[in-house]
Amino acid sequence: MGSQYSEILKAKLDEKSYGNLMAIDNADLHAYIANAIELCEPDSVWVSTDSDEDVAYTRQMSVKMGEEKALNIPGHTVHFDGPEDQGRDRKVTKYLVPQDETLSDALNQVEREEGLTEIKGLMKGSMKGRTMIVRFMTLGPNNSPFSIPCVECTDSFYVSHSLNLLYRLGYEEFKRLGEKARFFATLHSCGKIDERMVSTDVDNKRIYIDYTRDSVYSVNTQYAGNTVGLKKLALRLTIRKADREGWLAEHMFLMGVSGKGGRKTYLAGAFPSACGKTSTAMLPGETILGDDIAYFREENGSCMAANAEAGIFGIIQNANSKDDPAIWEVINNPGEVIFSNILVSEGKPYWLGMGTDIPEKGENFSGEWHKGKKDPKGAEIPCAHKNARYAVTLKALSNCDPELENPQGVELSGIIYGGRDTKAYVPVQQSFSWDHGIVAYGAALETETTFATIGKEGVPEINLMSIQDFISISLGKYLKNNLDFGKKLSKAPSIFGVNYFLCDNDGKFVNGVRDKHVWVKWMELRVHGDVDALESPTGMIPVYDDLKELFKQVLDKEYSKEDYIKQFTIRVPENLAKLERVEKFYRDNLVDPPQGLFEVIGRQRESLLGAQKEYGDYISPENLKAR
């Protein structure tokens, strides 16, 4: 290590932290931390290891510093973000792109040197009077083909505490790898904070991704989606790494679905935020392997999958004892849970849609709250934010899949794509082929913006495979990688599209909230060829008798032919309009469309037009034939 770095580190680290850092034989790591110290100018630096003592210390300090407050149930704490810091902020999240490179116009970006100058200017001296916390974690199971070592430097003990719950401790992995550790790095500072320990300089919030150095900068924000670098920020870096190395990094959950004879079938699913992703991954009676980010690798012709994470940062709105029993158990019993942006009254947490009476007053993200309180624009402030969250380790869940830490991953049998589509797609359908599924369900995934992203809600938009915000290569190259990945597989997963938000002409949902469990069970049967399907212009759909049996088995519910026809009638005009929007999006935004993209769209259009000519605008499933 250069003498200049040694002097910087010794000046800020005590003997124990310096020893812990030097035990990792990686000059690039030492240089990174020294440069972060010079930029942010903390009073001191604490280097955490994987020890129980260090894990406990970061938890204790998050409360002592006031970033979290203890609740009545032992181990439960609450953290508040500022009113303007309640979700991922697309507007100020940008890629740093070198002058001689280009990314798709659909991606938010700034010229690299210009962006570095700006972000470093905002971070200069931002940690004065504070401690820089240095954390070592891994994405994917340790000592595995899926492993990616990561370091995060932050001045927030709340961020450090969140890392404990959401990721695998990685100090020992860094020591094992030494100079071989090619790591991702995140530098975060809360910036200016008020007496509630809330970031206040929201006009200067910035989250910049320097993919040329596998690094992330985040300043003037505390919301975990903007500050926990291993989450969606690192996903952008992982996509580039996967592109270079020939595997896939996806915004997907992983779950194990029980089936006949005690078998377990692993499914992955891509859903934009607030579209049913976590509730699907957490279905009662099934197991959860991950709720957000999955890595796929080809091994002997099979698709092997692993969870990048080890915990859940989940939306808590509408979590209740009936629909979410596993989560409900964890968030109502002693154990380590971090709530964020809920209402606290007399030490108890409350959130929207929890199914109990809400107190008239308490504390929430706006400060002291009472029913009827209004924001500066005159809008009434809800008791809790729609994007309020909970953070918990997966191993705390009774339904955590035992293969979570399997270094080889699990064999994937099915992939699900689902968004918010009130008009067109049926509740569940299976693609005709890998290419058809990737294009017609993945690339054509259309949703409406939700409260999980700052900005206007309810705006329809294409959200490519629910990963569009995070793609750091061209959209065309990302699509091509997915199409090409299927060619490597002799046992390719089946691909399904789901839509929990289809509405009738009166705007009422045609699905029940719990019906998704039936759709998942049908997919599990289809993977193994245990049930037939009907061929529609947009995909293969369930046979009524199979669903009737499943509704009785899974939900103890009678399923009428009337409901079946309402749910699975193919709406030709709406589907044609959807294809027009999808095709226009890709013609406008792709400079490098992969071979087959527009052919798949064209074939689906021809199929819809042919069926329309024969059966009319709305095609009952009773007119379709088995395949």
Q: Catalytic residues, which ones? A: 275
Q: What does the alpha-carbon distance between residue 137 and residue 151 come to, in Å, rounded to a whole number?
A: 6
Q: What does the alpha-carbon distance between residue 170 and residue 313 come to, in Å, rounded to a whole number?
A: 19
The closest alpha carbon to 566, from 497, 624, 509, 499, belongs to: 509
How far, in whole angstroms, is CA 6 from its chain's centroid? 38
Q: What does the alpha-carbon distance between residue 480 and residue 494 come to, in Å, rounded to a whole number?
A: 18
CB crowding 40-72: b at 16 or more within 10 Å, else e: bbbeebbbbbbeeebbebbbebbbeeebbbebe
Rg of the chain on CA atoms, in Å: 24
Q: Do residues 90 and 454 touch, judged by C-beta distance below 8 A?
A: yes
The three-class DSSP label of residue 50 is coil
Q: Measure Cα distances from 407 to 326, 403, 404, 431, 561 in Å.
A: 25, 9, 9, 30, 46
What angle (nearest 5°) sits at the alpha carbon of residue 157, between those of residues 154 and 162?
A: 95
Q: How many CA atoms lie within 13 A of 339 on its CB side?
A: 32
CB crowding 375-406: b at 16 or more within 10 Å, else e: eeeeeebbbbbbbbbbbbbbebbebbbebbbb
Strand partners, 199: 193
